[in-house]
C-alpha cells in the first residue's frame, strides 16, 4: 500500500477511495489508523470522522479493539463531513456502515476534489446481509481491502459477526459480550442451533 500513500506527494493531488471491510474483530479500524498515521508521518493534512452514535471506547477518538487510537470528529450524518472538512489531503471515515446511503455521494465528492478517502466498515450485519451503504462503497472504491478475524470456535479465518444475544435490531453496539467472529461453517451451525432453540 506504500505506493498509495506516496501518490499524492509525487503525482499531484489525485483523489481516490480506499475501502477496508470485514467482520468484527478483524482489524479494520487498526488498519485504518495505520494508514492515517502513515499519512500524518508523511506530512499530509489528515481529517478523521466517525458516527456520533459510536461511543464504545471514546466519544471523540477512533479506537481499535487493541486500543490503538487517533483523534476524530464525531458527526450525526454524512453531510456534516462536507461542512466540517477543511483543506486536507486525506479524510478517514470509520464505521461507515452506520451512515445512510448519502455517505457514498460524500466520499465521491471528496475524491473528486482530489482528496484520498480512507473508509472502514462492517461489510455484513449479524444476519449475514450486506450492511447499509457498504456494497455501494465497495463498488465505487478504487482499492478494496478485506480483512478477516479468527473464528472463535474452530480457529479458521472468520468473516461473519455472530450475535450471541437475542436482540433483532440491525444496529446494536457491542463488543465480545455480544458478538463473536465466526467462519462460514461455524456461523451456519450457530444459526441452525439458535433457530432450533426458538422452534
Residues forming the active site: 95
Q: Tell me the C-alpha distance between 165 and 168, whole Å.
A: 9
Q: Tell me the C-alpha distance between 115 and 117, whole Å.
A: 6
Q: Which of 181, 159, 144, 152 is nearest to 22 (CA)?
A: 159
CB-CB contact of 58 with 46 (8 Å): no
Three cell numbers written together for 182? 465466526
Facing residues of 182 across strands? Answer: 160
Q: Which of 127, 61, 138, 125 is nearest to 92 (CA)?
A: 61
Amino acid at each position: 500500500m506504500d505506493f498509495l500513500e506516496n501518490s499524492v506527494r509525487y503525482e499531484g493531488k489525485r483523489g481516490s477511495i480506499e475501502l477496508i471491510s470485514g467482520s468484527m474483530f478483524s482489524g479494520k479500524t487498526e488498519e485504518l489508523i495505520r494508514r492515517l498515521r502513515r499519512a500524518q508521518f508523511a506530512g499530509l493534512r489528515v481529517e478523521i470522522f466517525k458516527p456520533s452514535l459510536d461511543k464504545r471506547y471514546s466519544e471523540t477518538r477512533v479506537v481499535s479493539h487493541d486500543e490503538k487510537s487517533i483523534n476524530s470528529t464525531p458527526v450525526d450524518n454524512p453531510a456534516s463531513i462536507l461542512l466540517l472538512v477543511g483543506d486536507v489531503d486525506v479524510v478517514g471515515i470509520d464505521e461507515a456502515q452506520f451512515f445512510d446511503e448519502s455517505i457514498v455521494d460524500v466520499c465521491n465528492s471528496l475524491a473528486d476534489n482530489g482528496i484520498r478517502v480512507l473508509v472502514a466498515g462492517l461489510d455484513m450485519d449479524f444476519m449475514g446481509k450486506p450492511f447499509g451503504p457498504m456494497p455501494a462503497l465497495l463498488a465505487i472504491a478504487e482499492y478494496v481491502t478485506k480483512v478477516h478475524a479468527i473464528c472463535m470456535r474452530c480457529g479458521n479465518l472468520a468473516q461473519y459477526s455472530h450475535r450471541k444475544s437475542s436482540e433483532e435490531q440491525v444496529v446494536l453496539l457491542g463488543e465480545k459480550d455480544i458478538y463473536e467472529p465466526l467462519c462460514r461453517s461455524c456461523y451456519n451451525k450457530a444459526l441452525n442451533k439458535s433457530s432450533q432453540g426458538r422452534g
